[in-house]
Structure formats: C-alpha cells, structure tokens
Amino acid sequence: MGSAYFYHLTESSLEQTLPQLIGRARQAGWRIAVRSADAAQAEQLDTALWAGPDDGFLPHGVAGGAHDALQPVLIGLPETDFGNGAQCLMAVGGVDVSPEDVAAHERLCVLFDGHDEAALNTARAQWKALTGAGCSAQYWAQEGGWVKKAESA
C-alpha cells in the first residue's frame, strides 16, 4: 500500500508546482497520472507541462491518445482509465480520492489551493477519510519551502 501526500499551495500556483512535483516523481522512476477536475483545467495543466521547468522538458500526454500506454505522464479526468501504469497519482482541483487510490499507487499526491476555502475544506475531508481508513498520509505546507506539518501512519 502506498501513501498519500497533501500539498497545501500558498506561495505558488498549481501550474508552477505541478511540474516540480512531477519532476521529482520522474526522478524516482515513476510513471504519473494527473487526475484533473475538468477538461479546461486539464488543458491548462497540459500547457503548463509543455512550458515545463526551466531545466528540462516533461514528456506527457492528455488521455485519449493513441499512445497513452507509452506516456510517462498522462493527464485525464476523474472518469479516465489511465493506461500508462502510473505508480503516482496526482489529484488536483478537488477531485475525489479514495483508499483504493492509495492502495493502487506508490504515492497519491493531493494538491490544493490554500487561498480557496472550498479547496481547503475538500482537502480536510479527504485527509480525514483517508487516514480514517488507515492510509498513511503526510501533510506538507509551503513556508518558504515545503514543511511537513502532519503525518499519520
């Protein structure tokens, strides 16, 4: 069983943070699925990943293409059947996550906007549901860098 990591974004946007976290996951050798709330957000994330970090390119695709299984990073919607063998699932935009998502991946990353009250409430409910189901979880906040604020084993 994997673990869930919650990322409370207060100093940078999702479009700035996601490429950094994907880069770290790729360094671990993982394939990644990004579960987006809607098609518009998926398109924004696709654009952000094409821009990529300053020091490199993040190869990726949007689910529904002929080569989904080959994509190291695949962006899709909640109903997407990611076929890229992802070891890391990144959930953005308040999409639902479950203990089954944690069990199916090495890492589940929940990224949420710390300036959005609805996003905060959704993340709190997700934390409670996952830890209540016995999932290992960590909560990270941006404070000049990433600071671990809570951990549940």
DSSP alpha helix (H) spans, 72-111: 99-104
- Give me the CATH number covering residue 95: 3.40.50.10110
Domain count, the chain: 1
Mean pLDDT of 15-19: 92
User: What pLDDT shows up at residue 50?
Assistant: 81
Q: What pTM was estimated for this model as a whole? A: 0.94
- The reported pLDDT for the residue numbered 54 is 62
Q: Which two tokens stand for residue 76?
A: 């899709």
- What percent of the chain is modeled with pLDDT above 90? 82
Domain that holds residue 71: 3-152
CA-based end-to-end distance of the chain = 12
Specify whether the backbone of 58 is left (phi greater than 0), alpha (psi in -120 to 50) or beta.
beta
The residue whose two tokens read 């695709």 is 61
Radius of gyration of the chain (CA): 14
- Estimate the crossing angle of helix 39-51 against helix 14-27, to 10 degrees: 60
pLDDT tens per residue, range 95-152: 999 999 999 999 999 999 999 999 999 999 999 999 999 999 999 999 999 999 999 9
